[in-house]
Amino acid sequence: MSYYEKIFFPLLRAFEPEFAHHCAVGTLALAQWGPPGESLLRHIAGGVPSRPVDAFGLRFPNELGVAAGFDKNVEVALGLALLGFGHVEVGTLTPLPQVGNPRPRVHRLLRNRALLNSMGFPNCGVGAALPRIIRFSRLEGRRFILGVSIGKQKETPLTDSIRDYLGIMRDVHAHADYLAINISSPNTPDLRKLQTPQFINSLCAQLQEENEAIAQRASSKPRPLLVKIAPDVTDEDLDAVIEAVRANNLAGIIATNTTLKRDGLDGDPFPERPGGISGAPLAARSTDMIRAIRGKTSGSLPIIGAGGIFTAADAREKLDAGAKLLQLYTGMVYRGPGIAGEILRGL
């Protein structure tokens, strides 16, 4: 057990989870700029082995990244990279600033090593985030991949949602290494319907068409587009997502977002609270989804595996199931900022 787990996490538990998260982000934001902070973060990482992975036409320094939701407002991508993560997915960003759902909206399920999240895409909006995306993307000697997760405004009808995704893509295209299309958060009303046959092919087709058009106008390359799916998606809808991704030449799938299912929990202290479950209870569901995607595509479609990664053994399980890359978030809450180095050394 690390010093973080023995000392710091028990102290952090005295604070409301979202407040504790803001404190962590604020500390990282201060530490990431300048030699003293950089040295401290590298020391916490504890030495990270080089494990390059080629995917989507990009070279990732290692398999492990930070999932969208940790750095919602694009404040600490460098700090997370200094902790050993090979890629950082910032956001999810919406076209305009969004406050999200009422607080409290994050709860710890300690006995389950899980979080219950009903945040609803709180973020500063793409306009405010863009200068920071540009700054991180232009860092001299940058050694991490910068992904941007994009979503729709809560008030935007599903039938108009494409305009939100297209607008954000146009804003960040020149500066993001890849784009993650978030259509699977359970905390934006009806968002998951975008995974269904009614919407998914049109969404993917229009995004890829604009992706290629932007690249052509700028004499650059199209950005890899990935679709982030739910672990609760039906088999029919999964088939529709895979078909749309392949038919429109998208780069891959991120599996998975949080789950609405609560069976298997060791007690549920918040039975009346809505939201998605992340952490250990999600591990098997997301791994099963990775395995299903690999089976349906004969391993031809790259997958980023996310959900319930706490240890090198958890990471290895997802890699063996068919994931090319990995992401975590809740594991860092419970195991601390040294988790990337620990997992990568373990692999």
Write out the catalytic residue numbers.
185
CB 114 within 8 A of CB 282: yes
For the record, the structure tokens of 288 come out as 């099963």
- Cα(29)–Cα(76) distance, integer angstroms: 5
Nearest alpha carbon to residue 65 among 154, 159, 178, 173: 178
CB 56 within 8 A of CB 115: no
Distance of CA 344 to the CA centre of its chain: 18
CB 140 within 8 A of CB 173: no
Cα–Cα distance list, 292 to 37, 230, 303, 321, 326 (Å): 42, 13, 11, 9, 16
CB 267 within 8 A of CB 300: no
Nearest alpha carbon to residue 186 among 264, 271, 252, 116: 116
- Cα(49)–Cα(347) distance, integer angstroms: 9
- Cα(119)–Cα(105) distance, integer angstroms: 5
Which sign does the torsion angle of CA 14, 18, 21, 23 carry?
negative
Q: Which residue has the tokens 């700054």?
A: 135
Provide the strand spans (E) within 186-255. Answer: 225-229, 252-255
